[in-house]
A and B are shown apart, each in its own frame.
Chain A
Amino acid sequence: MRRLELFLVLGLLALAAVAVSLGESQFSAAQYHQAFADPASPPGEVLWTIRLPRVLMAALIGAGLGLAGATMQGLLRNPLAEPGVLGVSATAGLGASLAIAGGLAALPGAVEASALVGALAAGVVVIGLAARFREPEVLILFGVALSAFAGALTALVFNLSPSPVATAEVLAWLMGSVENRDLTDLARALGPMIVGAGLCMYAAKGLRMLTLGEEAAQMSGLPMARLRVAAVAGSALLAGAAVAAAGVIGFVGLAAPHLVRAAVRDDPGRILRPSALAGALLLVAADLAARMIPTEQELKLGVVTALFGAPVFALLAWRAARSWRA
């Protein structure tokens, strides 16, 4: 257990070092030396003010999405759940689209704030539904409806937008990226992420108890209503902050818990921290791939994760469906 986390931390550090070292501009040994000796030198600038914040951002977003996914899987007792399922990603995307189309993109932090508001709105709706309905399937179905509705409204924003520039901007943003992020962006994302992570960790014991089913958990003596709200609010906050900071990046919340599930023997509480670490690893790797794959236009991070993630989702669904039939 501890060994797994240590292993993931070491892997993350090693990968981050590689991700900071590699990029479009290739440096000689002397230039690397210069970057370390003098951070203000041109190679130093590239490493420490361009690549490092980007790598840190990818790690933070990945960790948030991994933790949010693991929390939602535990809450909904379903290995196919992830932030997209509750409609959180879609409403956050809608919030950002409205801000961009409304001409607020020039205002620093406005798009981010709008996305976070969208995510939290979905969170409030989901908390209300979770208090009313105990069955996890209900939440998934409402999530599908919420996603579809937010998607329709986003399409409406495109449809009615008079400016093709704004439309292109929204599209680019919806594809997800951690390009050109600085430490201010990082600091802005960190607050809601820490609160969200705290709420998810607090809910861990409730997620374990839910293994037994809703009614047994309710009778277990744990304050399940409170833990359930903490899990929903925490994962909404994490996913919302992630979308606010980097656009819509799918499937990390699905794949990260899947990677570590066997190592924690399926435990929905103990899986949380390793899922965050695995999410960070995945997204740093995906961003490195987005940067290093030679294409005319730099690949968008959300496109890379979707290309790899969607088949993983299909594979998991295939396996789940086979076990249902057995």
Chain B
Amino acid sequence: MRWNDAVLGAIFVIIALVVALDARGFPDLPGQAYGSGTLPTLVAAVMFCLGAAQIVTGVRSRAPAIRLDAWMRAPGAAWRMAAVPLFVAAFVLLLRPLGFPLVTPPLLFALLLVMTVRPATALVVAVAATAGIWFVFARLLGVPLPLGLLTEIVY
């Protein structure tokens, strides 16, 4: 997904302005003209100039505002790509209430199906990967992966 340089340049300019405005409220060191706002302001100034330069380049190039690369136009590509953030978001939101052992296999199974893995393989892989990661992180490394609904059953 290629945007015209001017689009991202404008976003950088806006971020730079917001940062510079916010940084004005940061306190200076006692008796100095410098403080916690100095470097953010400097970086914002550089970002503003470079972003502006990108706007100029983008406008001059007369490229379309947005252009899809060939690989992204392949059938199903956009949908498979969207599945990645959807998987992560669903995983974080459901992890605490339901627990790692209950959330992971169905989500991973669904993602594997989206990736056109055969259902039988997907099922085996989803369960095996869940067990493997549980073993490494929860048992070997002692990471408290949430048990969610299973907490009361286990304890």
Partners in one complex: no
A interface residues (Cβ-Cβ under 8 A, vs B):
none
B interface residues (Cβ-Cβ under 8 A, vs A):
none
